[in-house]
Chain A
């Protein structure tokens, strides 16, 4: 369970990127954070995986206050998560395989197992035939799928995705969401920042509406 209590975030005075956001996301939820550009979706996701710290407020994940985790132990939290960044954050001088495998290399899995899981992940995003290519040779949409494969390869308990379908055509976007739904069906909590109304309408189970850093509405579908 992810609980956010009165989260405030200010990058620059006097504007608040996030203003008093409190929300609860249950284990196994498939939820969207939506809102117009600049509403604070990315900031909120970055706070949840502790890339940045909130100016005020507390965040509990399964009862643990993640803001109190010392820096050198933050890797434990991150290993529970799979993250799809809006800017993909790929290592451009390494192959697609190496980019996806990094999430598993850090855990010390046997090479054979790493190869198997990386191949499966890439097959899920329909990119297994480009395993040995370099990201710079891939299209924008393909790079995005590499980022998705990396996020799902370690079977995360929490999957965070920031605009994961932003550069994909509708069919592929639908397929990617189906993959996320499969991961969700296996027990993972999925949180997606998106403004794609069509997808949200189709897949959204719990939806938080964000505007100028504030939650202005919440919808839970049965």
Chain B
């Protein structure tokens, strides 16, 4: 009997979804736009996080050594650097190599350097980090460790840039989270009101069902199924629109923004984020429906 009723209720939900397809389509569009805004913020935040990581990973750290350090000590320091799991490779840059790099990079200063009595550039060990996500905290800890080794006099690392990028990413994430919470709440109210309008349009039907002896559960289930389907369809549509935006957006803004394009690019959502959006959509639709239909069950 329960299966028969369930079958009837699912059929009824399908019937209603089709019968009120115009109204339902509008609901799906509203839901999808709400979730699209959340999705865009996630995609922007993803991009900044990615850029931050890339920047940290591509940076080389230069450990400047005392001049005339015995080869054995240089090797010990090199080994200590290589022992770190963060480091991919280490290159020794001698004083004369450093000088020739400088003159190559700044040919206009060539003569000034030539006038010096001695080579002012210290030898260094250049460590390149592995190409995977490394946090700034881990890099800082690694640098502090190497800095303390005897023979190491200074460290050059574009920490500022990484810090700026990381804090920008954190700000975007915080804004994204803050707006996300507001948008989710707003979406919930929009969706529950859209569903409420649907329910209100059918209050006559609910009343009739109550008066012929339907239980509240019997009345509620088709509405919950409809809310679930609308929420699910809305969030799936938002992911699809986001996918199109990610494909089309760079084409339009690439020309005008130049370097800023990288900052404003949208990076596709992770599978986990997509699952959250879909679950969020389905849940919002179902809960919106549940809260709306309950108001009409007191006949």
**A interface with B by C-beta (< 8 Å):** 49, 51, 71-72, 74-79, 81, 83, 85, 89-91, 93-94, 102-103, 105-111, 150
Interface residues of B (CB under 8 A from A): 1-2, 4-5, 8, 15, 19-20, 204-205, 207-216, 218, 298-299
Q: Is the CB of A89 within 8 A of B204?
A: yes
Asked if A106 contacts B218 (CB within 8 A), the reply is yes
Q: Which of B8, B204, B213, B298 is A78 in contact with, Cβ under 8 Å?
A: B213
Asked whether, in the complex, the Cβ of B5 is within 8 Å of the Cβ of A75, the reply is no
> Can you show 30 pairs from A to B with CB atoms below 8 A apart?
A51-B211, A51-B299, A71-B298, A72-B216, A75-B210, A75-B214, A75-B215, A77-B213, A78-B211, A78-B213, A81-B213, A83-B211, A85-B211, A89-B208, A89-B211, A91-B204, A91-B205, A93-B19, A93-B20, A94-B15, A94-B205, A102-B208, A103-B213, A105-B8, A106-B212, A106-B213, A106-B215, A108-B5, A111-B4, A150-B212
Give the shortest distance, in Å, between B172 (CB) and chain A (any CB): 47
Inter-chain CA distance A93–B208, complex, in Å, is 13
Question: Closest Cβ of chain A: how far from B190's Cβ, in Å?
Answer: 25
A91 and B208 contact, CB distance less than 8 A: yes
Of B19, B211, B212, most buried by chain A (CB within 10 Å of CB) is: B212
Rounded to whole Å, the gap between the CB of A156 and the closest CB of chain B is 10
Q: A75-B210, A83-B211, A106-B218 are in contact. List 7 more A-B contacts (CB 8 A).
A: A51-B299, A72-B216, A89-B208, A91-B208, A102-B209, A109-B4, A111-B4
Complex-state Cα separation, A91 to B209, whole angstroms:
10
Q: Are A78 and B212 in contact (CB under 8 A)?
A: yes
Least distance between B217 CB and chain A CB atoms (Å): 9
A109→B211 CA distance, assembly (Å): 18
Q: What residues of A have a CB within 8 angstroms of the CB of B214 in the complex?
A: 75, 102, 106
Q: In the docked arrangement, what's the CA distance between A89 and B209, Å?
A: 10
Most buried by A among B205, B211, B213: B213
Q: Is the CB of A105 within 8 A of B5?
A: yes
Q: Which residues from chain A contact B212 at a C-beta distance below 8 Å?
A: 78-79, 83, 102-103, 106, 150
Contacts of B207 in A (CB 8 A): 89
Q: How far is the CB of A146 from chain B (nearest CB, A)?
A: 12
- B23–chain A nearest beta-carbon distance, Å: 11
Q: From the candidates A72, A75, A89, A94, name the one contacting B213 in the complex (CB within 8 A).
A: A75
CB proximity of B213 to chain A, nearest CB, Å: 4
Query: In the docked arrangement, what's the CA distance between A109 and B4, Å?
Result: 8
B205 nearest in chain A by CB position: A91
How near does chain A come to B117, taking the closest CB pair, in angstroms? 97
A178 vs B88: C-alpha distance when bound (angstroms): 96
